[in-house]
Amino acid sequence: MCKENLNSLFLFILNDIIRLGDTMPKRKRRLKVKWKNVFKLLSVILVIIFAFKGISYLYFNNKVFNDIKGSKLTIKTNKKQIKLSKKNVEYINSSNVKVKIKSKKLTYNLKNEYINNITNLKIHLYKDKIKEDGFNNSKGYFISDDKIKTGNVTVKLPFFLSHKKVVDVYGVKGNDYIKEYTKKVKNKQITFKYNSDYDRYVITYVKLKEIRVDSEQINMVKNRTRKILINIIPAKATNNKIKYIDVDKKYISIKNNIIKSKKDGKTSFIIKVDNKKIKMFVNITSKKFDVTKVNGIYYVDGLMLVNKSYPIREDYNPGELNEETKTAFAKLQNDAYAEGINVWIVSGFRSYSKQKELYDDYVSKEGQEKADTYSARPGYSEHQTGYAFDVNEATDKFNNTKEAKWLEKNAHKYGFILRFPKNKEDSTGYKYESWHLRYVGKDKAILIHNSGLSLEEYYGINSKYKD
């Protein structure tokens, strides 16, 4: 191809490119937003939404009205919120029908007087972990509504609960969880009465982790009783029923966690809770505890004994708590403090004269009969021994404090017993005193504490004034 022809072809292509450029559209100008149009569009969308809700409301209530048959009404819905029209409420009340609300997972059986509460009802079902003490972080199925809170409710359980044989139902008020029921699971659901006292309910299953006893060896005297102390962990385990297996009734009987010895010998039994077991061994003897008197002081099992039946001589005066008692209390006090518990001795040793002064004052104020229920006569007080003392506050105000509860649970580990326990007035001769401790030594304290008995019951002695 010659040079002239190439030039002609180049010019031809160049002309075509120029013409193509002339035919392309010019760059558009930036559009200005017209807010009036946006507001109009949003208004239309809102109208559509409200119209849809209105139509749904009318359709739902029309269906409810048409579904009424005989004297029963079942309101079925897949929604979390139920709105009844005034017409339906009036018709239900006038017809005296029984109302049932049924959603996918929950069914309410309502009394007629509560029908007005479901004109705008919201139901909430959700899963969450229970972080309160004793639940071991177990998962719970929570139920709450903002209107009804009464009547029977049937709940279809989620999988983590539906395959259990039983579940627990707790009412929740604020931060308090109150156990209401343990229910058998039938067809993957349970039914219970919904109580208006609670903010919500939770259904849960708390797995048993372990069971503990203070000792697997029990030493007993013939024809005595003692309480079997069993610690279930976690405290709110669902399957917490205690069973006693392989009990030889010739030697022992067990009822309400109280074991009673019948004859000398050795035996055993098994404690079973859910799938956990502990084998217990029992040694029974005919040992008797005799009260002896040495130099005007009474003793039982090596312990100095002072109560309403056994006085201490007037001139006995050690002047203070003995060293063994003080050392044991110092250990208790330090360990308690490490757990956030503060205890101190508010009244230790008392002389005969000091006890007489206190007792006479109480008698002058409330009379002898009343004073004898909480104050010892001079010569009959354990405070005169140097082994007993009061802590923190020697009044009933101390009874339900965290300090009192800690002492009741732990004092025996340091050699102390709660000298005047609850419901032991008939044996001790005194009302319950959560603040009065007596040192008896660690071994004896553990035995007496575990027996569930007062000192008088444990040793088979009386505590009564002669007059």
The answer to whether position 25 is within a domain reads no
Q: Is the pLDDT at 427 greater than 60, yes or no?
A: yes
b (16+ CB within 10 A) / e for 72-86: ebbbebeeeebbbbe
- Looking at the fold, whether 412 and 316 belong to one and the same domain comes out as yes
Give 91-119 as a DSSP string.
Answer: HHHHHTPEEEEE-SSEEEEE-GGGGGGGT
Are 335 and 361 contained in the same domain? yes
Residues 304 and 449 both lie in one domain: yes
pLDDT digits (tens, 9 = 90+) for 311-339: 999 999 999 999 999 999 999 999 999 99
Q: Which domain holds residue 71?
A: 66-204
Centre a 10 Å sphere on the Cβ of residue 14 and count the other Cβ atoms it contains.
10
Same domain, 303 and 387: yes
Amino acid in the structure at residue 379: G
- Distance between CA atoms of residues 284 and 262, nearest Å: 8
Q: How confident is the model at residue 346 (pLDDT cuts 50, 70, 90)?
A: very high
Average pLDDT of the chain, as a whole number: 85
In a shared domain, residues 194 and 272 = no
Residue 467 placed within a domain? no
Share of the chain above pLDDT 90, in %: 54
180 and 226 inside one domain: no
Poorest-confidence range of 58-67, 227-236, 351-360, 369-378?
58-67
pLDDT value, residue 59: 76
| pLDDT tens column, 84-97 | 787 777 777 777 66
Give the pLDDT band (50/70/90) at residue 305. very high
- Has residue 37 been placed in a domain? no
In a domain, 161, yes or no: yes
Over range 356-367, report the average pLDDT: 94
Length of the chain: 467
What are the tokens at 94? 């006038």
Residue 20 has pLDDT above 60, yes or no: no
**Residue 121: pLDDT above 70?**
yes
**Is the predicted pLDDT of residue 203 greater than 60, yes or no?**
yes
Report yes or no: 278 and 270 within 8 Å, Cβ to Cβ: yes
Same domain, 361 and 223: no
Report how far residue 304's alpha carbon sits from residue 291's, in angstroms, rounded to the nearest whole number.
10
Q: How many whole angstroms separate alpha carbon 180 and alpha carbon 168?
A: 8
* Most confident by average pLDDT, 115-119, 193-197, 387-391, 425-429: 387-391
pLDDT band at 30 (very low <50, low <70, confident <90, very high): low
For residues 178 and 238, membership in a common domain is answered with no
Mean pLDDT for 51-57 is 78
Tokens of 419: 């000298």
pLDDT at 6: 44
Residue 52 lies in a domain: no
Residue 195 sits in a domain whose CATH number is 2.60.220
Bigger pLDDT: 80 vs 383? 383
Degrees (nearest 5) of the Cα angle 176, 197, 103? 100
**Number of domains the chain is built from:** 3
**Residues contacting residue 92 through CB under 8 Å, at least 6 positions apart:** 68, 73, 99, 112, 115
pLDDT bracket for residue 26 (50, 70, 90): low
At residue 29, does pLDDT exceed 60? no
Domain membership flag for residue 32: no
DSSP label at residue 417: E
**Cβ burial, residue 30 (10 Å; 0-12/13-18/19+):** exposed
In a domain, 223, yes or no: yes
Which of 404, 276, 246 is CA-nearest to residue 336? Answer: 404
Q: Are residues 280 and 320 in the same domain?
A: no
Q: Are 210 and 276 in contact (CB under 8 A)?
A: yes
On the question of pLDDT at 269 being above 90, the answer is yes
Cβ atoms of 436 and 388 closer than 8 Å? yes
Q: What is the pLDDT of residue 3?
A: 44
Q: Decide which of 285, 314, 349 is a domain's last residue.
A: 285
For residue 398, the domain's CATH number is 3.30.1380.10
What is the predicted pLDDT for the residue at 1? Answer: 46
SS3 call for 223: coil
Residue whose token pair is 């104050």: 375
Contact (Cβ atoms closer than 8 angstroms) between residue 183 and residue 250: no
Assigned token pair, 107 = 């069914």
**What's the average model confidence in pLDDT over 155-180?**
93
Alpha-carbon 62 to chain mean position: 47
178 and 111 both lie in a single domain = yes
Q: Are residues 223 and 254 in the same domain?
A: yes
- pLDDT at position 19 over 80: no
Residue with tokens 């326990």: 421
Q: What is the pLDDT of residues 174-187, one digit of tens each?
A: 889 999 999 999 99
Same domain? 229 vs 321: no
Over residues 30-50, mean pLDDT: 73
Per-residue pLDDT tens digits for 275-302: 999 999 998 887 778 899 999 999 999 9
